[in-house]
Amino acid sequence: MNKDIFEFWAVAAPNDTTHPHDRYVLERVSHGFDLRCLPAPFGGSLRIAPIVLLYLAPGWCQEDVEEAGTPEGQARYAERRRGYQPLEGPEDHLPGWKWWTSRTKAFGSWQTIRNKVAILELSCYHSKTFTNEHVLGALPSSGVTLDWAQEILFPQAERGERVVICMRSPHYWGLGKRARYGKSLFVPPVTRGGHMLKTGEHKAVRDEVLVAVRAMITETNISD
């Protein structure tokens, strides 16, 4: 099985609600995912985005179910999984746009950063409340994501080539002993909803993250 995350997802058909390598696992276990939705392993231009946020799993809304049943929705998700598309705007998927902009508003205007921020999920399947951590170790898709993060993404961040911020469950990503690794791999204190804490002792870490993010946005603006 190929461990390149983009090649791995290239074998999924636009109307697949599970990755072919995950199907047998999902048939065997109780998982709590809504498999009427299309898988969302990442969002934004993950191949090239200078800033990557790590989350545990995509949330759920009725629009996700409805979109999965349309050719337009299937085409949008298939293109999204190629890793070149910017994060969604309000005209693409309003709930998704509200979600990601609420977590990145300190970085700058959404129009400015949508091409510069990507979101990587350890689980690609939608659920209202993620309580299915036991499944992560068995899903091939989660294994590919973690391997790619550990072998490609995290070294890039430690060298300062990208800013990577773990926004949920660092222990599942193999992180958590420190708030910063190398130049720009960050593990700030966060809420369960994936917002950085910004008061008291947590403010210094958040400020450090924002300095790195804004510097990366400014640097990459030069060549845009």
Going 196 to 57 to 129 to 135, the CA torsion angle's sign is: negative
pLDDT at 128: 84
State the Cα–Cα distance between residues 60 and 52, nearest whole angstrom: 21
Averaged pLDDT score across all residues of the chain: 93
pLDDT recorded at residue 32: 86
pLDDT exceeds 70 at position 224: no
Torsional sign, CA 26, 28, 29, 35: positive
In order of 7, 8, 11, 26, the CA distances from 20 in angstroms are 13, 10, 8, 10
**pLDDT classification of 2: cutoffs 50, 70, 90:** low
Q: What are the start-end ranges of the H helices in 46-132? A: 62-68, 71-80, 94-104, 110-113
* DSSP code at position 70: S
Is residue 116 within 8 Å of 50, Cβ to Cβ? yes
Asked if 12 contacts 52 with a C-beta cutoff of 8 angstroms, the reply is: no
Average pLDDT for residues 43-60, to the nearest whole number?
Answer: 96
Q: pLDDT band at 222, cuts 50/70/90?
A: very low
pLDDT tens across 33-48, in order? 999 999 999 999 999 9
Mean pLDDT of 81-106: 95
Question: Which residue do the tokens 């629009």 mark?
Answer: 63
Q: What is the pTM (predicted TM-score) of this model?
A: 0.94
* Fold held by 5-222: Uracil-DNA Glycosylase, subunit E (3.40.470)
pLDDT tens per residue, range 130-176: 777 888 899 999 999 999 999 999 999 999 999 999 999 999 999 98
